[in-house]
Amino acid sequence: MGEHALLYILFAPFVGALALILVSNRQPLLVRGIAAGSAFVSLIASIFVFYAYDLDKGGFQFVQKFEWSRELGISLHLGVDGIATPLVLASAILLFTGVFVSWHIKDRTKEFYIWLLILAAATIGVFMSLDLFFLYFFYEMSVIPMYLLLGMWGSHTKKYLEMTDPEGLKLRDSVGFILNFGSNSKEYAAMKLVLFLSAFAVVALMGILLIYKYAGLNTFDILVLREQAKLMNIPVLGTTLDKIIWVLIFFGFASIAPLWPLHSWSPVGHAAAPAATSMLHAGVLMKLGHFSIIRVAFEILPDTTREMMPIAAVLCIFSIMYGGFVAFYAKDTKYVIGYSSSSHMGYVFLGMAALNYISLTGAVIYMFAHAMATGMLFAMAGWVYDQTHTRDLPSLGGLSNKMPFISACFIVGCMASIGMPGTVNFIAEIMIIVGSWNKYPLQVIVAVLGIVLTMAYLFKMMRSMFYGPMSQKYSHAHDAVGVVDRLPLLVMITVTVGFGLFPMHLYDVVRSGVNPLIARITQVVPVASHEQDQLNVTREAPESPSKADLTAVPSHLAHVTPHSIRGLE
């Protein structure tokens, strides 16, 4: 596999999608086999990259570059650092498990898997892209399959199905329906998602084009722009160009994160989407916003990032608490998990805003951890819906008698979302809290209260679904008993608990990407890397983040590990 591993990860789903075009829907087993096979290739390659990543070398590795347009300075430039590597792995895991979660879909099976593969490949492409043009290209590509997966294979909410007139006709086109956001159809959810993401993607595109024009380098290459772009102190509209670009990039990408108040499309999309789509939506699609901000704003505009990130520190409070309170009062299982995801993304913004080694490392690990935990919850919510044909919590109950395996896995998923010790979520949350305390104590207090609120609404949902009396109309429901049904949950649980008990490799990989980035932003020391050598940029710097001189990292952080956090000052 070697140096071409990223090409296997990225193009295996695309090849699988192309192969499915040639297969008939009358061969469902072959369709599922091709989808599973292509997802498996991508997963194996991503595992190889994760464990073959050279911690001593650091920087961007497994680099591939293919010139696309010399005149415009566009190249398919792929590479992963310590920040991108775990997110690529998360995408591959959720694609592989999503194929099996969707194993029983019978309506246009081939088309469903084609769009699921394209969606996962698009998210992977964003995490790998070192060229602004292709980063944006893959970012926009993810919107198309989301629209089709929601609109064609999604489901209406309970309130929408109840909206009838005396003749029994659905009031789908009434003004009352349009303004009643609790009564959403799957078409409404799909259109709202597309409009939100496309509109704010244009905002981000304006920032990218301003970088391209005013950098004067005739290139979209992020590695070149981060070293040679000079965008500071150009007066524009009473401020400077770098601040305008930063705001465009931040809010353009923050909508998909989703940061309050740009979040309302996301829970609606979760509620309408089929289970596998919700897994990818919450697990990796929402992370595209955080990652793109890190890759573009943090890398190219480090000084402006240091000055402007308090904006995120303020808005993350509203994300955490608003999402948590709505999740507590929601009565739809997917709305609870969806608003929970929006709330938890506020923790990532808090870790990013604090701008230190511990908080940002925790934020990246949290993105990975949240992908696994929320993937589990959406997979199980989908199973319960398939068995009961309802997501209405008050009408459920007592299902643990019929679904002991699902209920046990649901407990693990809830414990991971809360951040219980023994799960990788715990390590990420405590790093964010400890790393952010000195700079944003108020936000940390809110974040801790948010964890308590998370415990309340997840326990409430778990009790409503699996305990208490069970209605006889659900007596036909059954547990996940086959290998196909249990495999995806076991994979995600293994990853969550495995990295929770043995986190050091994940921590070391992420830290190798975070350390040089924070050094640039905080200006601790000049930073040099393997890519800078290719750009003929000579600076004094430590040989690598993991073996840096103690001057590169503040003395009280130099030997921090997840097991020594309590010793931090």
The CB-based long-range contact list for 200-204 (8 Å cut-off, 24+ gap) reads: 200/251, 200/252, 200/253, 200/254, 200/255, 200/256, 200/262, 201/136, 201/139, 201/140, 201/143, 201/252, 202/252, 203/248, 203/251, 203/252, 204/136, 204/139, 204/248, 204/249, 204/252, 204/253, 204/292
At residue 149, the pLDDT reads 85
CA neighbor of 458 nearest in space, from 307, 321, 340, 313: 340
C-alpha to C-alpha distances, 384 to 388, 405, 499, 534, nearest whole angstrom: 6, 12, 28, 53
Q: For residues 455-469, b (16+ Cβ closer than 10 Å) or e, as one string?
A: bebbebbbebbbeee
Reported as type and span, the H/E element at residue 255 is: none
Per-residue confidence in pLDDT tens, the chain, 569 aa:
677 889 999 999 999 999 999 888 788 889 899 999 999 999 999 999 999 998 888 888 898 888 888 888 889 999 999 999 999 999 999 999 999 988 888 878 888 899 999 999 999 999 999 999 999 999 988 888 888 888 787 776 655 555 444 444 555 544 444 444 445 666 777 777 788 888 888 998 998 998 888 887 888 888 888 887 676 666 665 568 888 888 899 998 888 888 887 777 677 776 777 778 888 888 888 888 899 999 988 888 888 888 888 888 888 888 888 888 888 888 888 888 888 888 888 899 999 988 888 999 999 999 999 999 998 998 888 888 888 887 888 888 788 888 889 889 999 999 998 888 999 999 999 999 998 888 889 989 988 998 889 999 898 888 888 888 877 887 788 887 888 888 999 999 999 999 999 999 999 999 998 988 888 888 744 333 444 444 443 333 444 444 333 334 444 344 444 444 434 43
In whole angstroms, give the CA distance from residue 273 to residue 340.
Answer: 16
Quote the pLDDT of residue 283: 80
166: tokens are 């005396």
CB count in 10 Å sphere of residue 510: 27
> Where in the chain are the domains?
2-567
Nearest to 518 by CA among 311, 254, 349, 298: 298
Q: Are 328 and 312 in contact (CB under 8 A)?
A: no
| Listed residue (332, 532, 500, 366) closest to 436, CA to CA | 366
Residue 267 confidence (pLDDT):
72
Task: Answer yes or no: are the C-beta atoms of 379 and 97 closer than 8 Å.
Answer: yes
Q: What's the residue count for the chain?
A: 569
Question: Residue 209 burial (CB < 10 Å; 0-12/13-18/19+)?
Answer: middle
Q: Quick one: which of 436, 429, 435, 431 has its CA closest to 451?
A: 429
pLDDT given for residue 158 in this prediction: 54
Grouping H, G, I as helix, E, B as strand and the rest as coil, residue 131 is strand
pLDDT of residue 231: 63
Residues 540 and 484: their CA atoms lie apart, in Å, by 54
- Note whether 344 and 417 are within 8 A (CB): yes
How far apart CA 43 and CA 17 sit, in angstroms, is 16
Tokens 């415009």 found at: 72
Q: What is the pLDDT of residue 381?
A: 86
The pTM assigned to this predicted structure is 0.83
**Can you tell me whether residue 79 is helix, strand or coil?**
strand
Angle, CA of 187, 190 and 191, to the nearest 5°: 85
Task: Tell me the Ramachandran region of residue 529: left when phi exceeds 0, alpha when psi lies from -120 to 50, beta otherwise.
Answer: beta
